[in-house]
Amino acid sequence: MNNPKLGVEVTAAHDLVAKDGEGSSNAFVELHFDDQKFRTSIKQKDLNPVWNETFYFNMSDPNNLSNLTLEAYVYSYSDSNRSKSFLGKISLNGSSFVPYTDAAEFYFPLEKRHVFSRVRGELGLKVFITNDPSIKLTDPIIPSLETEGQVPESEPPVRLSSREQSEPRHTFWHLPKETNNPKPQPLASATKSEAQAPKAVPVSYMLRETSPNLAGGRVVGGRVIRTKNRTSFYDLVERMQFLFVRVVKARDLPTKDVTGSLDPYVEIKVGNYKGVTRYFDKKSNPEWNEVFAFSRDRVQASVLEVVVKDKDLVKDDFVGLLRFDLNEVPIRVPPESPLAPQWYRLEDKKGEKIPNGELMLSVWYGTQADEAFTDAWHSDAITPPGVSASTKSYIRSKVYHSPRLWYLRVNVIEAQDLITSEKGRFPDVYVKAQLGFQTSKTKPFQTRNGNPFWNEDLIFVAAEPFDEHLILTVEDRLGPNKEETLGKVIIPLGTVRKRPDDKNFPSEWFNLLKPSSVDAEKEKKVKFSAKLQARISLDGGYHVLDESTYYSSDLRPSMKQLWKSSVGVLELGLLNADGLHPMKTRDGRGTADTFCVAKYTQKWVRTRTIIDSLSPKYNEQYTWEVYDPATVLTIGVFDNGHIGGVNTDTKIGKVRIRISTLEAGRVYTHSYPLLVLHSSGLKKMGELHLAIRFSYTSITNLMFLYSKPLLPKMHYQRPFSIMQTNTLRLQAMKILASRLSRAEPPLKQEVVEYMCDLDSHFWSMRRSKANFYRIISLLQGLIAVSKWLKDVCTWKNPVTTVLVHLLYVMLVCFPELILPTIFLYMFMIGLWNYQYRPKHPPHMDTTISHADTAAPDELDEEFDPFPTSKSSDVVRRRYDRLRSIGAKVQAVLGDVAAQGERAQALLSWRDPRATAMFLTFCLVGACILYATPFQVVALIGGFYKMRHPKFRGKLPSAPMNFFRRSNNLPKITLRKS
């Protein structure tokens, strides 16, 4: 925007504290923003004053809006001593400001200035950003110096008449910036480092806090201000009223043709909205049991018509109808029992009862909390003509449970009595194992006696229920691309042993039969055959990684007996989306048919599809049990491709929220920008409004988890290699996508892959640069310390240099004060940073990810398929090799940056519980080290570091587990669409 301004409308205040000694107050409001100050008029003797005055602030730097704060102070003016008394204050961050069209009046509870402040009441404000050039600002008035607690003598308050009080009075003082040392303007010949400085994040790309009016009440600053005494179980979404119509069955329907049968179906009409059931062939007593939901806000009619018709190729025949007055429809509020359906005698078009024909149905008003909501056909999904009966199953909301995944370990030991077709030749034998689409081979072993020995482990991913069989084949390599099968065995996975740890059990010998003889009946008759020794197990002590490591939503092992109890509950309210980018064209205009998918632990949820809307309202709430705070909730927005015949769901955007960054009990209501990287650059596809709340059951159990390993102990006792982990993760994602695509409605493969971040391991110059600059930003602290030491040595500030000399002499003379001083210093830094702690959940940072500054050739390389699509074979091989090496370097840089950022985040309050625990440890450590001689601490630390291997465990130590868990998601970078 050109010259944007911040508008603040001070409307009114309620229930203020009396300060004048007569049970009242002379209230006025002071507004502070960007070194500017405005003041309203004074309302005499009024604890519920009304101002309705609007002020406009200039913005010195619109790109720095998120770092600015609007402060509103409420004071009471005293006529006797011309002083002001504090009544309360409000602080609003710049990231929550919205344009004028989206602004609304909110009443904020007044906050205390310090512990002993006496504060009560609310202040109503309407804050917005405007670019209206017609707004004229009053010339700034510089007030005289005012002492603490007094108003300026140069501008005494004026008492207004009742007529004058009704008119807005724009009185303000402007506090100018210091001009003693003005900052020089940047020259044209700026240095290269200045030219490459990161740009500020645009306002439209930032997270914005909202204050929606949910079913539980209005949310202000993370707290729910309830409007009713009764709380709702569905309190994180806006309450929506629906007219539900459940059509159960019919009996004794009249027939008009000579055959005495009809093809009945039911049509429900409410104004311009219409829903149709399926029809039956030649049946006079059909049973439908279908539910229809019509949004009460959109219904403009007063009568509900339920019409029974006979399906015909030319024109459907009328059978009978029912009419209901919508003013007489009952209201049902869960957890009340469902409304019982009733039999109704059908009427003709004149309203007279027909001799035969009855219809059983029930009609009621309800909300999203109704049990029939998820199974109903909704009016916003069935009215457009593009939706046919065959696509209705693809627009319903549904809850999915992903299959439980296991690691199948096949330890191939040896084979005996192998018989080859060629005599006098040493066979080159290997074992090929196949499970579904997964195939793995052992190394070839050349044997002279027909008894090869391998002792190799082959790892696969298996999913419950175990429908597939494990096939082991022993093959002899005769030459290039020429093998001979020496024997085969088929093992059902249902018979495989499950083990919770790494203890081995006895191996088994399997009879190897020729492929033509592999049959259960024939196998019993075989007296002699070659044998294969193997140890096969389903390892339930691992967690099967099926998503990106940094964004895992579940860390529990496969075996349920190893699961711990939950530590909390996560509640998500999917409110609505705004300003979505059109994904298709319908009737000559751009539109979208969107739905949301949320994934956490094994539970996936899918909202209903809102058809033909770029601002859909979902208002659906879901709940998950939390077993580990170091996990991530993922929400994706998609366009339904089945509405239009594409059969492919298009990705719109994705949001990730780490549970450990959420304060317990607080309701987070934010608008998340949906940022997607395309081949043409970074695009904002819209905004998604969410309401999130995390509640824990026991703070002790939650804190205790921070000392536990992040993954199950099998990952540390028998770890996989990095290559094995990546390969198994891709196999797990394919199995997950295959199983979820069988559901009704299906979760398509492209949806599952996008939610699980399938392409996170691909090479990207942009990501490599982002990881490199993350490391550089971490080194900025060391660079700043070196510059500070240089300033000390050069006596740039003599007072600081003298103090450093004194501190240095003290530490040299008393070395036992070094460690406690460092711990105490970190404790004070963390305590100081508490006031600057993040108030919002983390979100995508376009500056850190370099998404907004990537060059076109870098984006072309990032979206180039793997392997590359270049024409030259030589260039393709070299290019692929370069990308593979670059991917490894990228992973190393990312891991190094993640470790450094974890250490940096210990004092930043990004994870409030981890920071509180670390500060407590620093304080306790400082006290203990102050009381313990330094020599004793040094001896204990050195001896512990050099302890004997017998005293070392395979599992990581508690401090290492705490370090890995604390803010495990260091930075959130963008993923390509």
DSSP string for residues in 856-895: HHHHHHHTS-SS---S-HHHHHHHHHHHHHHHHHHHHHHH
The one-letter amino acid at 49: P
Residue 690: closest CA among 210, 241, 203, 222 = 210
Give me the pLDDT at residue 160, please: 34
Tell me the pLDDT of the chain averaged across its residues. Answer: 81
3-state SS of 240-278 is CCEEEEEEEEEECCCCCCCCCCCCEEEEEEECCEEEECC
Phi, psi (degrees; rounded to nearest 5) at 124: -95, 125
Where do the DSSP E strands lie in 627-732?
632-639, 650-658, 667-678, 681-696
- Looking at the predicted structure, is the pLDDT value of residue 72 above 90? yes
Q: Are 356 and 308 in contact (CB under 8 A)?
A: no
Contacts of 611 (CB under 8 A, 6+ apart): 380, 381, 383, 384, 386, 387, 395, 593, 640, 643
Give me the pLDDT at residue 200, please: 56
- Looking at the predicted structure, is the pLDDT value of residue 7 above 50? yes
Give the range among 376-385, 412-421, 605-614 with minimum mean pLDDT. Answer: 376-385
Mean pLDDT, range 280-290, rounded to an integer: 82
Give me the pLDDT at residue 173, please: 36
pLDDT tens-place string over residues 123-163: 999 999 888 777 766 544 344 333 334 444 334 333 333 33
Residue 542: closest CA among 727, 409, 352 = 409
Token look-up 């580990």 returns 628
For residues 310-339, one letter each, b for 16 or more C-beta atoms within 10 angstroms of the residue's C-beta and e for the rest, the string is: beeeeeebebbbbebebeebeebebeeeeb
Give me the pLDDT at residue 743, please: 86
Give me the pLDDT at residue 254, please: 82
User: Helical H runs in 705-796?
Assistant: 714-717, 722-740, 749-755, 765-793
Mean pLDDT, range 288-302, rounded to an integer: 86
Mean pLDDT, range 217-246, rounded to an integer: 74
Give me the pLDDT at residue 541, please: 92
Give the range among 102-111, 648-657, 770-779, 878-887 with minimum mean pLDDT. Answer: 878-887
Token look-up 């495989």 returns 496
- Looking at the predicted structure, is the pLDDT value of residue 361 above 90? yes
- Looking at the predicted structure, is the pLDDT value of residue 852 above 60? yes
Give me the pLDDT at residue 457, please: 93
Task: Compute the distance between CA of residue 396 and CA of residue 380 in angstroms, rounded to an integer.
Answer: 11
How many Cα atoms are found within 13 Å in the side-chain-facing hemisphere of 832? 6
Q: What is the CA radius of gyration of the chain?
A: 35
Q: Are 306 and 265 in contact (CB under 8 A)?
A: no
Give me the pLDDT at residue 854, please: 76
Give me the pLDDT at residue 446, please: 85
pLDDT tens-place string over residues 819-832: 888 889 889 998 99
- Looking at the predicted structure, is the pLDDT value of residue 912 above 50? yes
Distances (CA, A) of 397 to 322, 373, 378, 598: 29, 9, 10, 12
Q: Which residue has the higher pLDDT, 691 or 261?
A: 691
- Looking at the predicted structure, is the pLDDT value of residue 542 above 50? yes
Task: Compute the distance between CA of residue 600 and CA of residue 570 in angstroms, rounded to an integer.
Answer: 9
- DSSP code of 763? -
Q: Which residues pair with 225 in a beta bridge?
A: 218
pLDDT tens-place string over residues 479-533: 787 888 888 999 999 899 999 888 888 899 998 887 665 554 444 455 557 889 9
| Res. 199 pLDDT band, cuts 50 70 90 | low
The one-letter amino acid at 876: R
Task: Compute the distance between CA of residue 682 and CA of residue 853 in angstroms, rounded to an integer.
Answer: 9
Give percent of the chain above pLDDT 90: 27
> Would strands 122-130 and 5-14 be described as parallel, antiparallel, or unpaired?
antiparallel
Contacts of 903 (CB under 8 A, 6+ apart): 963
| Res. 278 pLDDT band, cuts 50 70 90 | confident
The one-letter amino acid at 787: K
Token look-up 């959130």 returns 972
- Looking at the predicted structure, is the pLDDT value of residue 935 above 60? yes
Task: Compute the distance between CA of residue 243 and CA of residue 957 in angstroms, rounded to an integer.
Answer: 58
For residues 802-825, one letter each, b for 16 or more C-beta atoms within 10 angstroms of the residue's C-beta and e for the rest, the string is: eeeeeeeeeeeeeebbebbbebbe
Q: How many Cβ atoms sit within 10 Å of the Cβ of residue 475? A: 19
Give percent of the chain above pLDDT 70: 84
> Would strands 445-446 and 377-378 be described as parallel, antiparallel, or unpaired?
unpaired
Q: Which two tokens stand for residue 388?
A: 């046919």
- Looking at the predicted structure, is the pLDDT value of residue 459 above 90? yes
Q: Which residue has the higher pLDDT, 696 or 859?
A: 696
For residues 152-185, one letter each, b for 16 or more C-beta atoms within 10 angstroms of the residue's C-beta and e for the rest, the string is: beeeebeeeeeeebeeeeebbbbeeeeeeeeeee
Task: Compute the distance between CA of residue 639 and CA of residue 594 in angstroms, rounded to an integer.
Answer: 4
Task: Compute the distance between CA of residue 515 and CA of residue 512 in angstroms, rounded to an integer.
Answer: 9
Helix, strand, coil percent values for the chain (each to nearest 5): 25, 35, 40
| Sheet order of strands, 264-270 included | 273-276, 264-270, 303-310, 317-325, 342-347, 353-366, 242-251, 287-295, 377-378
- Looking at the predicted structure, is the pLDDT value of residue 387 above 80? no
pLDDT tens-place string over residues 10-61: 999 988 988 877 778 899 999 999 888 999 999 988 888 999 999 998 888 8
Give me the pLDDT at residue 931, please: 85
Give me the pLDDT at residue 454, please: 92
Mean pLDDT, range 385-391, rounded to an integer: 54
Q: Which residues pair with 656 in a beta bridge?
A: 634
Q: Which residues pair with 9 in a beta bridge?
A: 54, 126
- Looking at the predicted structure, is the pLDDT value of residue 111 above 60? yes
Give me the pLDDT at residue 553, please: 92
pLDDT tens-place string over residues 698-719: 899 999 998 999 999 999 999 9
Q: How many residues does the chain have?
A: 977
| Res. 942 pLDDT band, cuts 50 70 90 | low
Q: What is the separation of C-alpha 495 from the centre of its chain, rounded to a whole number of angstroms?
A: 39
Crossing angle for the helix pair 798-813 and 765-793, to the nearest 10 degrees: 90
Phi, psi (degrees; rounded to nearest 5) at 554: -150, 135
pLDDT tens-place string over residues 565-575: 999 999 999 99
Token look-up 């179906």 returns 265
Task: Compute the distance between CA of residue 45 and CA of residue 824 in angstroms, rounded to an integer.
Answer: 50
Mean pLDDT, range 443-459, rounded to an integer: 87
Give me the pLDDT at residue 147, please: 36
Give me the pLDDT at residue 373, please: 84
Most confident of 167-181, 581-595, 928-942: 581-595
- Looking at the predicted structure, is the pLDDT value of residue 435 above 90? yes
Crossing angle for the helix pair 873-905 and 958-965, to the nearest 10 degrees: 110
Mean pLDDT, range 861-869, rounded to an integer: 70
| Res. 374 pLDDT band, cuts 50 70 90 | confident
Q: Which residue has the higher pLDDT, 963 or 540?
A: 540
Give me the pLDDT at residue 230, please: 47
DSSP string for residues in 132-195: -TT--PPPP-PPPP--TTB--TTS---PPPHHHHTS---EEE--PPP-SSPPPPPPSS--HHHH
Task: Compute the distance between CA of residue 921 and CA of residue 903 in angstroms, rounded to an integer.
Answer: 15
Task: Compute the distance between CA of residue 147 and CA of residue 150 in angstroms, rounded to an integer.
Answer: 6
Give me the pLDDT at residue 665, please: 87
